Structures are given as C-alpha cells and as structure tokens.
Amino acid sequence: MGWRARRGRRPLWLASARRPAVCVCVLVHGSRAYFLAGREAALSVLQHSDFNLCVVRGTGPDMELPRCARLRTLQLVDPPADCHRSLRFLAKFQALQQCLASGGEEYVVALDADAVIVRRTEACDIEVALGGRPLGMAEQTGIRGCAIGRPELRDHYIAHSLRFIAPSANAPTLKRFRFFNSGFVVGCREEIERVTAWSLAAIARAPQHQVGDHMIADQDYLQYWANNLRPEQCATLSWEWNHCEQWDPSFPRPGARVMHFSNFCNGPTASTLARMTAARSGALTRWSWRSVLRCAREGLGRA
C-alpha cells in the first residue's frame, strides 16, 4: 500500500495529526413532527460521529436529547405565524449564523432535520470528500418516477432561482451545472461564513420569495452561490453523503453515509419518522417497507 491510504482514510503519516473540529448544525422548528425528526437527526450525529452538534430550535416540545458536552442548543426567533412559507426554510441561514457565532470549529455541516447520519463519519472523511475545496454538496440527479434529469433541472434553475436572485446572470453550461441539494451542506468555516452572510443580505433585500408556484428557499441561494458566484469552489459530493429515495435508485443502498428522507417540503410523516429511526439504528436496509409502515401504524415515531 506504500504511503497511500486506503480510500476514505488518512495517510499513516497523518494518523497522529490533530483532527479538525467539526460542528453539525440542525435547525428544528414548526410542527411537532419536525421536532421528532430533528431529534433523530441530532441523535444520529451523536451516535455516528464525534462531531459537535448545534441544535437551533424554535418554540416547541422538549426534544429529550441526552446531556452531552458536544451538544449546544440555541434558541431561534420563530418566523411569524402568518409569514410566507419560504421564511421557514430560509431560517437555515439564521441558524448557521448563530451556530458560527457560538463556536469556532473549522468545518460546519448543515444537516436537514429529516436527514440522519447512518455510519461512522469522521473529520478525515469530510476532508477527503471536499478534496481541497471549501464547500461541498451532493447533486440531485433527477426525480424518480418521471423523466427529469440534469437538463430539466437546469431549466428549472434558470426559470426560478436565477429569475428571482439574479435575472441578468447567465446559467452555467449543462456540463458544468449541478442541481445541488441542500439536505447536507458541508464547508470550511470561512466559506460557510461567506455564503451565510451573502444569503442573509440578499434575503433582506428581496421581495416575497415566490416565482409562480415555486417557493424560493435556502436551496436556491446555495445553488446560485455554487453554480454562479463561486462555481470552482464547490465540490460535488458522492451520492453517499445525501442518499434520498426521491432521486436515488435502489434506495436504501448499502454504503450510504447520510440518508435524507425528504418529502419535498411537505414535512415529516409517521412513516418518515419510523424510517429515520430504523436508518439511524442500521436496520433500514434489513427491513421491508411493509415492516416499516407497520411500525409507523403501531406508533413508532408518532408525529
């Protein structure tokens, strides 16, 4: 093997080097179902990594998280009850701002409340995945069950994200374009600070975040940052970092590192919570869908 490390591991000469600190930021607010889902996301971080965890939460039920020196909980100012629904997703940037101010970690991860880490993950894995770039997201390659791929998603980006955020900007070529999904976002501290500050300033200047029937949310801003503003600075992470049934075939696949139970902004259901619990415990790949749904009906992870 010589000096080369096995894939995903540090070279032997770095084995004793100081591991960089990582903090995972999880935003939790809204309905009780989001708090139950956010609890699974938080527990997965504590279970499958030695990362610090910052839960930024709105008003809601006790998440019953264990006492842990790696955990810090911050309070989010809840969006007004009658606000446009986009503000509930754009609050991710407020959560990141609070997370950054509360600690000094070298790497920051934004993990959606409906996503769980499902196997051991360390700082060296993040460094390998980023490949020297300051930001990383996985590509959403399409939508299962319909003929939508990168060309159609690029058209959607042009018609909605670019039209709202920068109507005079040109989209990247199809070869260079990536429809990044924001369920898992990782970056070095400086880049997360940059994209957070820029996004919050742009959001404050913008009108109601809507183009036609499409809500403009955090993902639109992150995609514009990665595709138009700093296209050479964002690594396209492999599928394992954001494995989702909405776009990945053969879900759940062995080898996933993060499973994302996106419901396309419709919120977690009892089935979602049951599957998150199973995935976090390593049981999802062994359970049939029928078993998971039966557990949901019996009350596992009631919403």
The pLDDT tens digits for 59-82 are 999 999 999 999 999 999 888 777
The answer, yes or no, to whether residue 15 has pLDDT greater than 80, is no
Q: Cα–Cα distances in Å, from 175 out to 25, 156, 172, 179?
A: 32, 16, 8, 12
Tens-digit pLDDT profile for residues 24-55: 999 999 999 999 999 999 999 999 999 999 99
The answer, yes or no, to whether residue 131 has pLDDT greater than 50, is yes
β-pairing, 115-117 with 258-260? antiparallel
Query: Residue 11 falls within a domain, yes or no?
Result: no
| Run of H or E residues at 107 | strand 107-111
Count up the domains in the chain and report the number. Answer: 1
What is the reported pLDDT for 302? 42
The answer, yes or no, to whether residue 295 has pLDDT greater than 60, is no
CA distance 135 to 191: 7
CA distance 94 to 215: 18
Write out the residue range of the structural domain in which residue 141 sits: 20-298
Residue pair 189/86 in contact by the 8 Å Cβ criterion:
no
Per-residue pLDDT averaged across 5-25, rounded?
Answer: 59
Q: Is the dihedral of CA 255, 257, 260, 261 positive or negative?
A: positive
188 secondary structure, DSSP code: E
β-pairing, 22-28 with 52-57? parallel
Q: Is 214 helix (H, G, I), strand (E, B) or coil?
A: strand
In sequence order, what are the beta bridge partners of 234? 135
What is the reported pLDDT for 297? 52
Q: Is 111 helix (H, G, I), strand (E, B) or coil?
A: strand
Per the model's pLDDT, the better-predicted residue between 116 and 296 turns out to be: 116
What is the reported pLDDT for 6? 38
What is the reported pLDDT for 12? 36
CA trace torsion 255, 261, 265, 271 (10° rounding): 170
Percent of the chain with pLDDT over 70: 87
Residue pair 40/303 in contact by the 8 Å Cβ criterion:
no
54 secondary structure, DSSP code: E
The answer, yes or no, to whether residue 99 has pLDDT greater than 80, is yes
- In 3D space, the residue among 214, 224, 279 whose CA is nearest the CA of residue 37 turns out to be 279
Query: Residue 246 falls within a domain, yes or no?
Result: yes
Query: Residue 238 falls within a domain, yes or no?
Result: yes
What is the reported pLDDT for 245? 92
The answer, yes or no, to whether residue 4 has pLDDT greater than 90, is no
Hey, what are 159's tokens? 């018609």
Q: What is the CATH number of the domain that holds 81?
A: 3.90.550.10
Query: Residue 236 falls within a domain, yes or no?
Result: yes
Q: What is the residue-averaged pLDDT of the chain?
A: 88
- In 3D space, the residue among 85, 70, 86, 35 whose CA is nearest the CA of residue 56 turns out to be 35
What is the reported pLDDT for 292? 54
Tens-digit pLDDT profile for residues 219-258: 999 999 999 999 999 999 999 999 999 999 889 999 999 9
Query: Residue 3 falls within a domain, yes or no?
Result: no
CA distance 5 to 250: 30
Helix boundaries (H) for the chain? 32-48, 86-102, 123-130, 150-156, 163-165, 189-205, 218-224, 270-280, 289-298
Residue type, 293: L
